Chains A and B, each alone.
Chain A
Amino acid sequence: MNGDVEMNEKQRYITLDLGGAPMTPWCRFKRVVKRTFRIELFIGLWVTIREMFKTLFMGKSHTTKYPFEKMPISSRYRAIHDMLRLLESGHYRCIGCGLCEKICISNCIAMETRYDENQRKEVSGYTINFGRCIFCGYCAEVCPELAIVHGARYETASEQRASFSLFEDMLTPIDKLKEQKEFEGYGAPSPWADKNIKKTPLAY
């Protein structure tokens, strides 16, 4: 008992005077009316009302009309991969080095390469098993050509996992080449990369 008293003193509880609780129905009714018509309510609703006016009469809205509209996402967001093309020739950038396949932590990249008619290495098959991909971004980071990058496609609901996983699905469509954006996420050159470039000695 003694202990409790001491503690109360130490913690210095202050009892607030809230007025007495309404005792009669009439008193209760009076309080409801008072609370309802006090101006505070409208202060609380002010933002809503302002936005309502903006939306209704000024055509300014914060709602993203998904799926017709999408939020812009950070270049560091790691969604379904894109395979980029060279802007000059339109050829896919991937040289078939296999580093992404090697580094992939969940072992979900499979690729196939061959010696083509022009004595070059052709990527004849490339798939990512998105059932296993953990979107770690290692592949994009290791790629020496900035060929495989993470794109912005985050909706991955589909009838089949295979829907996104082929080279053709990931590759920038050739008619959309102009819209291809340079990747800025992990693995992209730093903004000051130019400063680090050294001159190669050349004999001519």
Chain B
Amino acid sequence: MYAMLLYIDGGGVVMVKKSDMAQYVNITIDGKNCIGKQGDTILQIARANDVYIPTLCYLSKVKPIASCRMCLVEIQGSEGVVLSCQERAVEGTVITTDSKMLYKHRQNIMKLFGVNHPLECGVCDKSGECDLQNKTLEFDVATQNFCAKESDKKVENWGFISYDPSLCIVCEKCVRICNEIVGESILEVAVGGYKSRIINTNKEADCSNCGECMAVCPVGALTNSEFKYSSNAWELERIPATCVHCSSGCPLYYEVKPSSTANREESIYRVTNPFEFSSLCGAGRFAYDFANKDAKKDKEAFTRALKAFEGAKSIRFSANITNEEALILQKLKEKKGYKLICDEARNYQKFLAAYSMVSGKSLYSGDLATLKDSDAIIIFGTRINDDNPMVKYHISMASKWHRARVAYLHPMEDVSMSKIVTQFIKYEVGSEEGVVALLANAFLSDLRLSDAVKEYLESLDVGNLSAESNVGEEELEGLVNSFEKKNTFSFVIGADLYAHPRAQEIAKVLALFEKYLDCNVILTPPASNALGVALICNLDDEDVNEQSIGYNVKGDFTLGSLGEVDLDMPALNQQEGTLTTIDKRVVATHVALPFGGYVLNDIANALGLETEYTIDYTKELPKRSGYKAVEFDTLNHEFSKEGNDIRGYLLETKDVKIDEIFEEIEELPAYDGGVVYWCNEGIHFTYNTLYKYPASKYLKGSKQFAVAMKISDGEELIFENEKRQYRRIFKLDETMKGTIAITSSVTEPLEVSSFKNYRYTLMKLQEDGVIR
């Protein structure tokens, strides 16, 4: 039976069963009957039901800060007032959000916030979107009757961010976000009455430069030093879009306005985001200037392109394309028989296929929302903060809110995760197949398993694997014990494994965790739209040296948005289309800046496909892979009132035929000597982010590595990988240990971030001074 109880969830109305009613609470706010989930605060219920309660320090994506007291409400029948932002609703309470007393109270709070606040709205970046400005007007503070002795407060510049303590109202939002979500805990409050301010404990060494603190600052205290004073908020036009740098596909807005008084062509001034509910990393927030500007419709180049397409046998491309473009390429393949080569997505596609064979589902089970609510997490085969910062943020939330146990399995220690990780397990490079087998053995052997799995686990020579991979049996035991009594178990998998020589075998064993432990497994896609490409294109392996077209990678004829190309293509912020995110969600992105040249669809049309706009393909994305026949223009770009991600739509997971065949583990390879790990550190993912992170032509290694390879700090070295030569400057990093050095895989345009081959390369010093 359904009761007459409607709960608004994620934008839709949910009928609640009578038996589930205990999960909900009924309260009355200002005479309106409101329904919320058990455990929700009064404020959450009010917001979900469109009742306004003024707040200043409340930020929905962190736990209540409760520092401003603006959200006070009265509860009928009880003396005094409560803070609605942190008070959980109790069934049947009757609440008043506004009264003469409350108004007076709030007015006084605003007067106090205004004490000594510089009257500089005229120049302040925040003017027009400032909470202090808004609330001061809302509570009609026309005069100030308080004052305090002013202290000397100097503007500080922290990398991309500038902090003006005289504008700071010490609401603590920035401190909380840096701690709870970003997981860096770099900011602190220095308490001291009117001298209170925020201190950056890491001024010299850069923080992760994510700019989250700046995004949530309700006033103009934390601002973007590049954007500073360049425009008022209201002059900018907001283009809803999706970040294109990594597979998290975070929602953002490109804010555009004419470039100058003389040049009325628009340019992007800054990136903002729905910061109440979602976050960005530094790449999304600061690396937005990658548009292919000034491209013209070059008819001759277009004719040459068509000719090249007629003669080409294969199309090589990077996975930083939209779903629609991927579909165009797939259609061209069907029509003209091109081979589709996308190294970034191909390995991932095969990995996913092998995974599905065991899990029985076309997609992995996990998503970020569940990850943040987990209390036991394993990270395996990825340097996660560099590969996908948003995954790290969600692990950080789990760690802060659910005291999650976080086990990090990797050959290299990672300082950026040290504040979150509870157990680091180091394994030998190349031994991943052994490690996953050991994990499966430790976690699964006591469960009821199918015969094939049982047989596989029994055949393992645990002692030997443990010795070879360097993962101690006690370590694993400790891990399993610490996961006992935990409710939600997440497993984050990354790019080290996709290109592993034994990737498919690893994938099959990993799938057991989803199947038998009901684990939230996330196969982090290795590039922005690797998942989309993997689901849409029938990719090919063979890349014989035939005539090829390159799309954002080098080909005999190269199309691309950056670098030396034969035909200019729009960058991803000049296109509309959809992307498939790590959450298996199809989200839309829109045109921030115009593009004057030809797009892929023009070429496709000239080659015989007939579709007017690229986005006409949105509804044709393959149903067999879980896409839906949805028109581009109907895709939603907003979050629900409760803060749930309801952008676009979720892919449908299909059932796949199960085929549990496990191969015997191959002998674990030995990587003795100097090893290079291909990893784009910090806020660097693709060439598009490089301009924000110029120092990446280095190879960073420990002293031990330097000794082993006989190189010294600052020396240039040349080495080869995948038939290509790389030049790097060696940089000695005292904080690093071991013989694995890190280098960026993308230092030039038209290079892609992930490789066809395994992510670690053994280096040998050659006699001619070249390292191979």
Contact = CB atoms under 8 A, between A and B. Distances in A.
B123 A121 contact: yes
A202 B147 contact: yes
A97 B234 CA distance: 11
A180 interface: no
Contacts of B301: none
A119 B155 contact: yes
Interface in A66-112: 95-99, 101-102, 110-112
A203 B149 contact: yes
Contact of B260 (A115, A125, A203): A125
B122 A144 contact: yes
Contacts of A101: 232, 235
A204 B144 CA distance: 16
Contact of A95 (B122, B150, B231): B122
A195 B146 CA distance: 22
Contacts of A113: 229-231
A179 to B, nearest CB: 27
Contacts of B230: 112-115
B637 interface: no
A97 B122 CA distance: 4
Interface residues of A, number: 28
A126 interface: yes
B145 interface: yes
Interface string B104-132: 00000000000000000111000100000
Contacts of B234: 98, 102
A174 B440 CA distance: 80
B143 interface: yes
A119 B223 CA distance: 13
B64 interface: no
A127 B261 contact: yes
Nearest to B226: A115
A24 interface: no
Interface string B258-270: 1011101000000
B178 to A, nearest CB: 24
Interface residues of B, number: 26
Contacts of A95: 122-123
A25 interface: no
Given A98-B232, A119-B155, A125-B261, A201 B225 contact: no
B148 interface: yes
A200 interface: yes
Task: Choose among A98, A113, A120, A122 the residue with the greatest number of B CB atoms under 10 Å from its CB.
Answer: A98
A30 interface: no
A127 to B, nearest CB: 5
A96 B148 CA distance: 29
Given A96-B123, A102-B234, A126-B261, A121 B229 contact: yes
Contacts of A97: 121-123, 127, 232
B454 interface: no
A201 B258 CA distance: 42
B228 interface: yes
A99 B235 CA distance: 10
Nearest to A101: B235
A178 interface: no
Interface in B234-259: 234-235, 258
B626 to A, nearest CB: 47
B141 to A, nearest CB: 13
B235 A112 contact: no
A127 B260 CA distance: 10
A204 B151 CA distance: 12
Nearest to B231: A113
Contacts of B144: 200-201
20 contacts: A95-B122, A95-B123, A96-B123, A99-B122, A101-B232, A110-B258, A113-B229, A114-B229, A115-B225, A120-B123, A121-B123, A121-B229, A125-B260, A127-B261, A144-B122, A145-B122, A198-B143, A201-B144, A201-B146, A201-B147
Given A96-B123, A110-B264, A200-B147, 7 more contacts: A112-B260, A115-B230, A120-B123, A121-B123, A201-B146, A203-B150, A204-B149
